Structures are given as C-alpha cells and as structure tokens.
Amino acid sequence: MAPFELAADRILVTGGSGWLGTALLQALVAGLPDDDGPPTPPPELRALLFPNESLRLREELANRVDVVSGDIRSRDDCNRLCEGAAGSVLFHTAGVIHPARIRDFHDVNVRGTRNVLEAAVEAGVRRAVIVSSNSPFGSNPHPDHRFDEESPYNPYMQYGRSKMHMEQTARQFRDDGSLEVVIVRAPWFYGPFQPARQTLFFRMIRDGRAPLVGDGEWCRSMTYVDNLCQGLLLAAASERAGGETYWIADARPYSMREVIDVVEHLLESEFDQCCSHKRMRLPGFASDVARAADWTLQRVGLYNQKIHVLSEMNLSIACSIRKARDELGYEPRIALEEGMRRSLAYVFDTQGEL
C-alpha cells in the first residue's frame, strides 16, 4: 500500500505511551510494517504522555516526536498539547480500560475526552479521530449477528457506559460544527507494545491455565494493532470520513478456542516453548456468575480485572467492517496467526521469555 497523505502539517496523539498510541506513532514516523513508507509529507508529531511515562519507540524514531507530559483530566495539559496546532489532525487514543476506581471511567474516558476536544477546538484543530470500543454495544443477541454503525447502544457495565458517553460527547462537537470528528470503534486488539496482561495470557496458554468457557466457540471480533492503525490513518486521511463512525477489526471474528489453539501452536513450533496442551475448562454458567459478581462490585465502586474478563467469555462480541471497506478502502492485511506470531516475537525480543 502506498504511503498515506494526511493533509496536515502537524499530528497530535493522546495516549502516546500506551499500547495503541505507541503503535500509531511508530506508523506515523516509519510507516506501517507492510506499507511502502510513512505518511507524506512527513508531519510534525506531538504526543501527550502521562507524567513519568516515556516513549517506547526506538531512539531514532522517538527523536521525531515532541513529547508533552500531562494528563487529559487537566484542561491546561490539553491546551499545551494543542497549542499552535491550527489545521492539525488529532488522534485521541488515551483512555482507561481496567481502572483502579470505577469513577476513573468517567473522569478519563468522558471528562478527559471533553477536555481534549475543547482544547482542540480552541486551537483550531481540523479533525479529531476518536478511538472507541465495542463495549457500548454489549454482546450480540445471537452468534450470527454482527454489530454495524447503526446498532443501538446497549453498554456493557461501567466501561461500556463511559465509552458511550464519550461517543456522545464527541458527537456534540461534530453536530455544532466546531470540529470534524471521526469515531473508530475497535474491539479487542493485539500485537506489539502489548501490556503485561497480554503476556500473562500467553503464559497461561503455555502452562495450561487459559480458561475455556463452555465449548469455547463464542465469536469475538479482534484486530491486530497495525490493522487498527491502518483504519485510524484512513479515517484521518479520507475526506469522506468527516462526521462518520467506523468499526475497524480483522476480516472475520475468531472463537476463543481458535485463539488459544493458534497461540499454543506458535509457541511450540516457532518459539521453542513446551506447552502443557491443557485448558482450564469451565461451564458456561461460570461467566454468568462472574458477570453477577462484576456487576455487584461495580455498583459499589470496585473493579476486579480477572472477574470482568471472565464475565465476557460466554458472550459473542462481533462486528461488521463493511462500511470501513466500502468508504475508506480499509482492508485488514494481518490475520490471527500472523498477528499472534508478531505479538510473540515482540515479547521474546523485548523480554527474552514469557
């Protein structure tokens, strides 16, 4: 694929040290791994990083990025990110998924987004590409159903509610004409720069502790991180995308059984790992029990990541990418096996072991 033309001299990125933010900055500096090169002409890059965090790009790439230390919960920090950025494109990737406190969902995902967009409008930013989630839509009513851009909101617990309110906040700026807004809905993504929880998942598969609920055939849309970056860049570059919403995912959903089987095969065949070939098999109602516990905890302001993840494992959460294909020319190039191969290579290259 030819380099992207973003028609902006400056690109702003929130969440620059996060999983997605790092991959996006890498793509903006050096191009996607399967592309011909970086966006043209090379834009100036400015990224907002949480205090005491640093870029995870290679040094020669990091030198291309102007780093602003701050927090999207601070309007002043958002103003510093957007200062002098008239006509620029903003990628808003910052957010919280697994918080210390339930109120962080609102403070970061909703109020923080409003701070970023208000600062962008004041500075004259041209377009904001906002990263949302599948969680505002809950689970599919039956296994063959696919969410599309017209699907009604049905948020899954407090994270889903916060992302729904985030989308609604972004649309207010779109509807009053103050800012071009594009919303990109991303399901579970995977790939290099992953956090510790994803490495733990690989280790659990190797050691036979990966949970498989029921028959393990529940459908999940996933997206390799470079596929998602491709979708974000297309959303920024396409004139037609202004004001629109797109689901971005791999070409098809995967079952949890398939995900575990693929990772196990790669660990043994390409990364010299001895796998136990076991699964932690749980009945379908285990996720129902976890869901009840998760709901109860969140009602009193508490959050447990393991319980929350288990609560979703007997649900189908799958989307259609037809609109992104038709309007943006999006075509996911990396499927599950190659994506997990690159994910594992990143872990072993950076850590030496699981």
Buried residues in 3-26 as b, exposed as e (16+ CB within 10 A): bbebebebbbbbbbbbbbbbbbbb
Amino acid 2: pLDDT: 52
| Amino acid 36: pLDDT | 64
Give the residue carrying structure tokens 């529940």. 218
Q: What is the pLDDT of residue 42?
A: 77
pLDDT for position 34? 81
pLDDT digits 0-9 by tens, 283-296: 999 999 999 999 99
Which stretches in the chain have pLDDT values below 50?
none
**Segment 8-42, tens digit of pLDDT:** 889 999 999 999 999 999 999 999 988 767 777 77
- pLDDT at position 3 is 62
pLDDT at 39: 73
Lookup result for tokens 């920024």: 236
Residue 243 contacts residue 207 (beta carbons within 8 Å):
no
Q: What are phi and psi of 43, to 5 degrees?
A: -80, 160
Q: Considering all CA atoms of the chain, what is the largest pairwise distance in Å, rounded to the nearest integer?
A: 58
Entry field: residues in the chain: 354
Q: Is 3.40.50.720 the CATH number for 10-194+221-252+316-334?
A: yes
What's the pLDDT at 33? 87
